[in-house]
Amino acid sequence: MSDNFTTAGSTQSGDQNEKMNKSVLMVCLGNICRSPIAESVLRNLVSKRPDSSEWLIDSCGTGNWHIGNLPDYRGQACVRKYGLTPTHRARVLCKDDFFKFKYIFGMDKNNIADITRGMPSGSKSIVELLGKYDPEGELIVEDPYFGNDSDFDRVFIQCKRCCENWLSNFKD
């Protein structure tokens, strides 16, 4: 487990956590750009479904630099531009996440490496790149942190494509 991960975690019991088939965790490096955008996109898509109350959707980072912070102001502006409301505060991936979330989506290969390195034995989480579900074949959701507003738009649009495609193929 990476030194950045924490053992703090959920308030639900293990039995309740294992019943969370409709649970998705989006993961990036700092949890202030890509993963909160992906979380907002998926929350919005799921909110339109009749089973929306059965879903647990969250995001986190593999690094601990931004714990408690709001998402990057450019990411917040981007999400608002598309009619969504960002409500997330950054947090770091913890061991309980591997028992609380069935699906854990990383944004790039480094995220996947960090996630799988920290995965405790007994976890049944499915860890994949979110970009695996991009119908345009963009496997990596590139980090917009050092970019400009258009890079955040690109992330939003790619996350929307991926989440729509994943959700359309989701089987309970």
**Pairwise CA distance, residues 13 & 152, whole Å:** 36
Q: Is 43 a catalytic residue?
A: no
Q: Is 74 a catalytic residue?
A: no
Can you give the C-alpha Rg of the chain in angstroms? 15
On the CB side of 11, CA atoms within 13 Å amount to: 0
Say which of 143, 159, 162, 163 is annotated catalytic: 143
Phi then psi for residue 28, to 5 deg, are -135, -165
Say which of 33, 34, 43, 134 is annotated catalytic: 34
Tokens (6 digits) for 152 = 């955040």
Q: Is 28 a catalytic residue?
A: yes
Active-site residue list? 28, 34, 143
